[in-house]
Structure 1
Amino acid sequence: MAFSQEVMRENVQNIREKMARAAREAGRKPEEILLCAASKVQSTETVALAQGLEIDLFGENRVQELCQKFDAGAYGSKPVHMIGHLQTNKVRQTVGRAAMIQSVDSLHLLQAIDAEARRQGLRQDILIEINIGGEESKSGIAPQQIWSMLENAAQCSGVAVRGLMAIPPVAEKKGQNRHYFALLRQLFVDISTKTYDNISMDFLSMGMSADYEDAILEGANIVRIGTAIFGRRY
């Protein structure tokens, strides 16, 4: 059963307070961190209620859901990002609807997005997904592959690389993932010292319901929260 708007409002307020505390602890401004509501499997009606809350954007894992909710106007004026694995045969549906594709995890996908964006006459914002924990079960490129990926992206006029995204291993206790967040932050900083066409390190997307405070302490400026807003999925 979906939460009411009032329950979601209370959840978002609680998350915002924790985000602000973590930001202040890190010597950062709370307003520089974006709250992405991960609305996987949430109905169009639930998302329409949530878009009136203090969230900055939505994130979808499935292209079909993103298209249905986008076309129904469920997101209102809030942008939606693609945050799940994207197959190349779904690129045409995603480009132009998603304000950003956070989960670009291969050169093949990068090139497919570039081609479709150029076909539509636009430039698609993307993040490069890093498999920071080296897990075979997760998408993303290995950290050492980022430089080759960026060199290729610099030749793609249909995309704008805006930063990095990662999903670290599942943490069994609080603080366990700070090491991975710190590694991604350092990679982000290293890239920031270089100059490439079509590439700027503006966004570091990491941290979910169980570990977003640690992610903020390590430099995240987009956190992707689902369960803590909408409740556990069944």
Structure 2
Amino acid sequence: MAINLKAYQEVLSQLSPYQAKLVAVSKTKPVSDVEAFYAAGQRIFGENYVQELTEKQAVLPADIEWHFIGHLQSNKVKYIAPFVHTIHAVDSLKLLQEINKQAAKYQRVIHCLLQVHIAAEETKFGMDEQELQQLLQTYAANPAAFSHVRIAGMMGMATNTTNETQIHKEFHQLHQLFGSVKTTYFNHETYFKELSIGMSADYPIALQEGSTMVRIGSLLFGERNYSQK
């Protein structure tokens, strides 16, 4: 077991002044590691793979708040719709519509974060601003058609770089866009409040730039083994 409970407490102490939430990213890690953080008080866990998430959810405590943080294919939404709390990477109108459709089958409301592409790398997912506006306009035109999803905020991933100025800039721009979207589309909605930015390497910068939710894995769980993924 390579978990780092000391790092966990240090992260929590840094999040506290910002009242930000910690999503402990447990992808590729065994159930026993999740149980150890659960015993330490952690309740929000994030996963990237649908099959792994469904397997863990079935055997772990029912009060865990599961977040799906990876790229999600529309045809796999049905597997996590019965229990997932938040889906971070909603990067298309098609995906939002499918989440709503599947959540309706269980009379649930799933929280969704709209993923915006802010990094220099083209390999990262996310909508550009035009795609984001088109999705929001469709939603605003007929919100009743989306009664089983709750657009709770936005998500982004910064460029994988040691250039802190660039990371600050990317997070800052997303925070500004977040504010603009809230004013235009969700000004009277208390639930549009989450800005999911920041991971193990850059979460202190993300907190400075308005993050309300950080996704931290390797810092807590140790390096990952993707050999079986």
Do they superpose with TM above 0.5?
yes
2:38 aligned to 23, 43, 51, which one? Answer: 51
Structure 1 residues 180 and 200: CA distance shift in structure 2, 3 A: same
Aligned partner of residue 23 in structure 2, secondary structure: strand
Matching residue's letter, 1:78: I
RMSD of aligned Cα (Å): 2.0
Matched, 1:190 2:180: yes
1:2-17 maps to which residues of 2 (within 5 A)? 2-3=1-2, 8-17=4-13
* Aligned equivalents of 1:49, 1:107: Cα separation in 2: 37
Compute the displacement of 1:72 (Å). 0.5
SS for the counterpart of 1:128 is: strand
Describe the SS at the equivalent of 2:57.
helix
Contact 2:15 2:21 in 1 (8 A): no
Instruction: After TM superposition, give the deviation of residue 186 of structure 1 in Å.
Output: 0.3
Secondary structure at 1:136 match in 2: coil
In 2, distance between residues paired with 1:90 and 1:198? 29
Deviations 1:186-218 (A, max 9, x none): 011101212459894210000000000000000
Q: Does 1:219 align with 2:206?
A: no
Map 1:151-190 → 2, pairs under 5 A: 151-153=137-139, 154=143, 155-190=145-180
Cα 1:94–1:152, aligned 2, differ >3 Å: closer, same or farther? farther
The percent identity for this pair of structures is: 32
What TM-score, normalized by structure 2, do the two folds share? Answer: 0.88
Deviation at 1:117, TM superposition (A): 1.2
Aligned counterparts of 2:191 and 2:88: Cα–Cα separation in 1? 14
CA contact (8 A) 1:44 1:69 kept: yes
Q: How many residues align?
A: 220
Query: What does residue range 1-234 of structure 1 map to in structure 2 within 5 Å?
Result: 2-3=1-2, 8-20=4-16, 29-30=17-18, 32-73=19-60, 75=61, 77-133=63-119, 135-153=121-139, 154=143, 155-196=145-186, 200-234=191-225
Structure 1 segments unaligned to the other structure (5+ residues): 21-28
Stretches of structure 2 that go unaligned for 5 or more consecutive residues are none
Residue pair 1:114, 1:158 contacting (<8 A) in 2 also: yes
| Secondary structure at the counterpart of residue 166 of structure 2 | coil
Q: Deviations over 1:72-108 (max 9, x none)?
A: 12x5523010000111111101112211111111111
1:107 to 1:199, Cα distance in 2 relative to 1, 3 A: farther
The 3-state SS of whatever aligns with 1:216 is helix
> For the Cα contact (< 8 Å) 1:185–1:204, is it kept in 2?
yes
SS in 2 for 1:177: helix
